[in-house]
Structure 1
Amino acid sequence: MQVPASAPISSVLWTSLFERVGDSGLSLQGRIRQMLVSAILSGHLPPGAPVPSSRLLADSLGVARNTVVFAYQQLVSEGYLVSRERSGHFVCDDVRKSHVATPAEPENPSRHHYTARWHQRVVFHPSRQRNIVKPENWQSMPYPFVYAQFDAAQFPTAEWRECCTRALSVLDIRSWAPDLITNDDAALIEEIRTQVLPRRGVWAEKDEIVITVGAQHALYLLADLLIHAHTVVGMEDPGYPDARNTFAHRSDRLMPLPVDEDGLCITPELTACDYIFVTPSHQCPTTVTMPIERREALLELAARSDSIIIEDDYETENRYDNQPTPALKSLDKHGRVIYVGSLSKSFAPGLRIGYIVAPAELTHELRALRRLMLRHPSAYIQRAFALFISLGHHHALLRRLSLSYQDRARALTEALASSLPEFSMVPITGGSSSWVRAPAHVDTEQLARAALDVGVVIEPGHVFYHTPGPGKNNDIRIGFASIDIEKIPAGIAKLAGVYRKLYG
């Protein structure tokens, strides 16, 4: 509802607007500016409308008068308000002149007949695929055993803020502010090439690396570029659901491949695959590590059968025995491994920074395809991350996380053995999750739903399997990246209580 130009808004309404619109992360002055801009641009304060005196608004909001004065001055300089001598401040007459007026909707009894039927037009329904689902409020739950999510206690706030500030220097801005078109930030490419990849035994030239908006974007690019309707794609079973869904959108010939205690099994079926998707460092979701001998056998098979391997190295360097296994890509002598990595998954998934390492012939096409989708990932974030790596923060963070995860893994192992001895688990050798099997009579979906009622969040394992069926609903993935170590025993004890209530 618009306010007439002559009618002042009551102090109660200003307080309500301030609480509803104001971003609590801003300063008081910033929140007042945000409140007024929102009211002006939404039409609640029309052109020519008066705003309260600085004293009245300060009293209404319970802030210092100077805070309001400075907010008004800023809004005057930006053209939202005008100051009239002895009259006060008013909304600028032409502040909304570029806005199209909202037309009144005419009565039209046949309108429904002409409404677009989107369900008939959508050619693909990704929302109907089987996905990992987490409660929207998982962060407010006392026992969030979720995988690879943000942990405020682990985030390197000071270090990341330093890098973001440095990236705003005049020289840096001139590097990242222009449209890079198909290029990436040269500094980040260099840090990945010389600091990140060598730690995995991988050596690459500058033109063999492409930055992506996270590892999931990398898989989408590869699927779009390489996979058609009849391409045979081998997938670990159980395996990563989002990779399976991405590839299934392009091909109807996905081949589930068995996994054992050493990861992907080397079977004759592999020779029929055009592409093989594999997570050798920590198999998703079982967490097992593929030994060198099996890696070499997989590479040999791929060479003989003219297959390409897509290696998702989503949990790099996180082995607790300080004996990291070289990436599959590092053993590749024939250029048959496409390497996908992530820089942000370990501490801030919301940053969305990943990369692809592949032959230059392929990366050239990947850059051209990426340009059609989003040009390039945020160049500012790329530059900040380049600084984060070059100043040693990234390596130091991985070290801290590895130690923290090792302690949490030990606490989880002990808690499961104590509270849920009926459950079996794959020994945790690295990473930030555990693959746990419940007794045969347990429906882990039912268990997960009931656990939510006592604040425990777990991930049922059925979604990781290629197809649902008997024996595929007894697994759970229990993540420990986002839960304080002190809460792990209590959380597992709560889960045990739910289990015994349901199944005696």
Structure 2
Amino acid sequence: MGRIRNCSHRFQPSGRAEHDFHGNNRQQNAPGSSCAHGGSSPVPPEQKFHALNPALSDADMTNNSQKPAPEVYEQILAPISISSEVGEPLYRQLRRALEHQIRVGGFAPDAPLPSSRELSRELGLSRNTVNAAFQELLACGIIESHARRGYFINAQILDASAPLPHNAVVGPTAIDWSQHIRPRVGADRPEITKVSNWREHRYPFVAGQVDERDFPRLAWARALRDALDPPHLHYSLRDSVDEDDPYLIDVLCRRVLPSRGIVAEPKNVLITAGSQQGLDLLAQTIMDSRSTVAVEDPGYVDARHTFARTGAELRPLDVDEHGLIPPESFAGLDALYLTPSHHSPTNVTLSVSRRRTILDATLASGTLVIEDDYDSEFRYRGKPTPALKALPNSAHVVYLGSFTKFLAPGLRMGYIVGDPVIIAELRSQRRYRIRHIAGHPQRAMAMLIDSGQYHRTISRRRTQLQRKWRLLVEALEKYLPWDVSAPPGGVSVWIRGPQELDCIELQAACLREGVVIERGDVFFDDPSTHRNFFRLGFAAIDAAAIEPGIRRLAKIVHGLGL
């Protein structure tokens, strides 16, 4: 397998053929084409070059008013190596390389970063690729955009972690590992980019996180300790090969699944390292390049990536205020993935009538249904709806649940409920991936549930989240100039702004003001036409910070002229 493209192929004249960030061959923009994000910075070229190479002295800059020799650029940019064979989008590779250079001190902190035109020219990449990398760095708070000056390193990033010595940069290795990595199907699909230092921001409206103060530390510590006492010690420490903890399976069937209306036996259940592993096991078991899988649009991004990696064709289905809109026919669809309790990311609930329609139609067409019971524990208005798996004609439904999503997402423990035949095959698949989930936390979780502490935590967390939900909805109605339709449950609010809103620009502007939001375009099959959506999570933020946080968000929105 030969190397298609590497950044060592630099210094070609403009007009050369190159690869854009989708990995396709395209023609380089003319040198005079415009740059949408700071490419027309008035900073002199020699000053920009100084940003590339802070080791150059002022005398060097004075004596090198012309463009530095190609071999000098080669030395400066040598650590940045990008290949289209890796299976990762070129813009994502460039983004990681630039972030690494920033963190190890490769760029001067008080000088503008090289413009998209400069990087495009010197790295042999399209400006679309470079701009996409800059947008991700901007969205993550790694860099900042200064009007008419260009991009600069965020000083807070430098303060948070001292850079490594300059000579610590890892250079070329003896082996070109990109030649040994199998090309990844669906690598160009957009991914969710999380702000890693969200806790350092004053108003973290992040989704998928929890308030650590609400975690039942004493109860969990007691369960972990008791799980190391006989007779539990054996189950905590043994190699179970492909088996699950029988105690956990028992309490799951007796005390957890009945709350969703599901009746199951041990042969119907498999423990997973969270719902994400459940999705992966299912994808590798029932999907391949001949499969067609229907997904919600907008929908859970990581599920799309998981299915796309099998080579399956994805067919997006629209969602409205009542959930997934059933197509006229499910014929030709091998599987349907949906989040009916609280749709990801809008949190709308699939209506009971549509549930019955979907179950009957998919059963008739032979379409398997993957039900991801996302945040079903948290409903603040109206009665909870039953799981699809609890309804008649649901033998073709595979149910995904989580013990830890609300408790502490980092614990990573979930389960799959389905027909014994599919569960047996999933168990075999899991055995040759991770063998089984660690025995100690399985036994501790079983003891936490059986003690009643698990359900008490759910009840307490539901009360706390309902208060935060009410505060958020009231603040949005008071300060934000757009119609906000509050969902009946879940742990986030989905917002649709005016067409002129750019969620990427808004996210970057919010980060500069200590407000963390999530851009919404990536949840759509076509992100480019849905830049006016964003999401606000409220599980991790302190209740007292919600109202001032939305007030600041509204101020930012007004500052953008919206």
Q: TM-score, normalised by structure 1?
A: 0.75
Return the alpha-carbon distance in structure 2 between the equivalents of residues 167 and 129 of structure 1.
43
1:209 alignment counterpart = 269
- Write out aligned runs for 1:338-357 (5 A): 338-357=398-417
Q: Paired residue for 1:419, among 469, 479, 482?
A: 479
> 2:326 is matched by which residue type in structure 1?
I
Matched, 1:483 2:529: no
Q: Does 1:319 align with 2:379?
A: yes
147-156 or 367-376, which deviates more = 147-156
CA distance in 2, matches of 1:426, 1:358: 34
Say how many residue pairs are matched.
Answer: 391
Between the aligned partners of 2:394 and 2:560, the Cα distance in structure 1 is: 54
Residue 366 of structure 1 aligns to a residue whose secondary structure is helix
Q: How many angstroms does 1:292 deviate by?
A: 1.3
Match for 2:521 among 462, 466, 485?
462
Rounded to whole Å, the distance in 1 between the matches of 2:207 and 2:236 is: 33
Secondary structure at the counterpart of residue 455 of structure 2: helix
Q: Give, in whole Å, the separation in 2 of the partners of 1:393 and 1:503.
A: 49
TM-superposed CA distance for 1:130, in Å, is 1.9
Structure 2 residue 432 is the aligned partner of structure 1 residue 381:
no
Work out whether residues 151 and 347 of structure 1, in 8 Å CA contact, stay in contact via their aligned partners in 2: no
Query: Shift of residue 433 of structure 1?
Result: 0.5
**Displacement of 1:502 after TM fit?**
1.8
Bigger shift: residues 270-279 or 255-264: 270-279
Distance 2:301 2:199 in 1: 22
Match among 169, 174, 188 for residue 248 of structure 2: 188
Does residue 335 of the first structure (1) align with residue 400 of the second (2)?
no
Task: Tell me if 1:372 matches 2:399.
Answer: no
Q: What is residue 473 of structure 1 aligned with on the other side?
A: 531
Match of 1:147 in 2: 207
Kindly report the root-mean-square deviation, in angstroms, between the aligned alpha carbons of the 2 structures: 1.6
Q: Which residue of 2 aligns with 1:123?
A: 182
Counterpart position of 2:326: 266
Q: 2:289 matched to 1:289?
A: no
Residues 234-260 of structure 1, C-alpha deviation per residue, up to 9 Å, x if partnerless? 000000000000001113410000111
Whole-angstrom CA distance in 2 between matches of 1:124 and 1:213? 26
User: Which residue among 465, 489, 500 is the counterpart of 1:430?
Assistant: 489
Shift of 1:225: 0.7
Query: In 2, are the aligned partners of 1:232 and 1:251 still within 8 Å (CA)?
Result: no
8 Å Cα contact 1:442-1:503 kept in structure 2: no
SS of 2:421's partner is: helix
Alignment partner, residue 154 of structure 2: none
Cα deviation per residue 1:467-500 (whole Å; 9 max; x = unaligned)? 2232x11111110000011100111111111111
- Equivalent residues of 2:250, 2:266 under 8 A apart: yes
Per-residue deviation at 1:129? 4.2
- Is 2:354 the counterpart of 1:309? no
Q: Which amino acid aligns with 1:321?
A: R
8 A Cα contact 1:286 1:426, kept in partner = no
Contact kept? 1:147, 1:433, Cα under 8 Å: yes
CA contact (8 A) 2:360 2:393 kept: no
Partners of 1:357 and 1:397 lie apart in 2 by 23
Cα distance in 1 for residues equivalent to 2:537 and 2:180: 39
Does structure 1 retain, via aligned residues, the 8 Å contact 2:237–2:439?
Answer: yes
**Cα shift at 1:269:** 4.8
The TM-score, its normalising length taken from structure 2, stands at 0.68
> Runs of at least 4 residues of structure 1 off by over 3 A?
124-129
Q: How does 1:36-51 map to 2 (within 5 A)?
A: none
Q: Using the alignment, how far apart are the partners of 1:129 and 1:384 within structure 2? A: 38
**CA distance, structure 2, for counterparts of residue 175 and residue 347 of structure 1:** 23
Give how far 1:428 is off.
2.4
Percent identical pairs in the alignment equals 39
Which one-letter code corresponds to 1:487 in the other structure? Answer: A
Please tell me whether Structure 1 or Structure 2 has the larger radius of gyration of its CA atoms. Answer: 1
Structure 2 counterpart of 1:178: 238
Corresponding residue of 1:498:
556
In 2: Cα distance, 1:132 partner to 1:212 partner: 22
Deviations 1:28-81 (A, max 9, x none): xxxxxxxxxxxxxxxxxxxxxxxxxxxxxxxxxxxxxxxxxxxxxxxxxxxxxx
Encode CA deviations 1:452-479: one digit per residue, 9 max, x unaligned: 0111100010111112232x11111110
Aligned to 1:299: 359
Distance in 1, Cα, partners of 2:445 & 2:278? 18
| 3-state secondary structure, aligned to 2:560 | helix
In 2, the alpha carbon distance for the partners of 1:269 and 1:498 equals: 45
Are 1:415 and 1:493, in contact at CA under 8 Å, matched by a contact in 2? yes
Structure 1 pair 334–458 and aligned structure 2 pair: CA distance change class (3 A): closer
Check whether the contact 1:287–1:435 (CA below 8 A) recurs between aligned residues.
yes
8 Å CA contact 2:388, 2:394 repeated in 1: no
Task: Name the CA shift for 1:127/1:276 in 2 (closer, same or farther; >3 Å).
Answer: closer
SS of the residue aligned with 1:424?
A: coil
Q: Secondary structure at the match of 1:190?
A: helix
SS at match of 1:503: coil
Partner of 1:232: 292
Q: Once the 2 structures are TM-superposed, how far is the Cα of residue 118 of structure 1 from its aligned partner? A: 1.9
Corresponding residue of 1:60: none
Q: Residue type matched to 1:287 in 2? A: N
For the 8 Å contact 1:295–1:328, the answer to whether it is kept is: yes
2:338 to 278, 291, 295: 278
Contact 2:236/2:441 (CA < 8 Å) preserved in 1?
Answer: no
Amino acid at match of 1:157: R
